[in-house]
């Protein structure tokens, strides 16, 4: 299986901060990577696909980059609604696998 490793596990930030989350794959996955946001008690929500394509309806302050084995999710100016958990997921090979998640909390 392709292992996905996210860092950091927890990130403390303030409204207006620029935050970056990193996701590393155990082997090259080209750009077959998605990012999800999850709030407590809710299902994950697709934010980014193909490493850098913004899902319809997702605010433009979210962006993704990377290819191969290293990827980043950036929120340019953190808003109150953005405090949540974020997960990366590869869909290069079966079984699809997820990172362990990054909790973005209020500083």
Partner 1 sequence: QVQLQESGPGLVKPSGTLSLTCTVSGGSISDYSWWSWVRQTPGKGLEWIGEIYHGGRTNYNPSLGSRVTISIDQSRTQFSLKLTSVTAADTAVYYCARVRGSYLLDSWGPGRPVTVSS
Q: How far is the CB of 17 from partner 1 (least distance, A)?
A: 25
Residue whose CB is less far from partner 1, 24 or 45: 45
Stretch that binds partner 1, among 11-19, 29-37, 58-66, 67-75 (CB under 8 A): 29-37
Cβ–Cβ under 8 Å, residues 12 and 106: yes
94 binds partner 1 (CB under 8 A): yes
83 binds partner 1 (CB under 8 A): no
**Buried (b) or exposed (e) across 23-44, using 16+ Cβ within 10 A?**
bbbeeebebbbbbbbeeeeeeb
Q: Which of 35, 49, 62, 86 binds partner 1 (CB under 8 A)?
A: 49
Q: How far is the CB of 55 from partner 1 (least distance, A)?
A: 7
What is the distance between the alpha carbons of residues 86 and 73, in angstroms, rounded to a whole number?
A: 9
What is the distance between the alpha carbons of residues 63 and 75, in angstroms, rounded to a whole number?
A: 7
Cβ–Cβ under 8 Å, residues 92 and 26: no
Residue whose CB is less far from partner 1, 66 or 99: 99
84 binds partner 1 (CB under 8 A): no
């Amino acid at each position: 299986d392709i292992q996905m490793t996210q860092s950091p596990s927890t990130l403390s930030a303030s409204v207006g901060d620029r935050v970056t989350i990193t996701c590393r794959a155990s082997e090259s996955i080209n750009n077959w990577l998605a990012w999800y946001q999850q709030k407590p008690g809710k299902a994950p929500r697709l934010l980014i696909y193909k490493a850098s394509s913004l899902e319809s309806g997702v605010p433009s302050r979210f962006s993704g980059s990377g290819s191969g084995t290293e990827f980043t999710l950036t929120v340019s100016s953190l808003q109150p609604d953005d405090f949540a958990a974020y997960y990366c997921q590869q869909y290069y090979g079966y079984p699809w696998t997820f990172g362990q998640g990054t909790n973005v909390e209020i500083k």
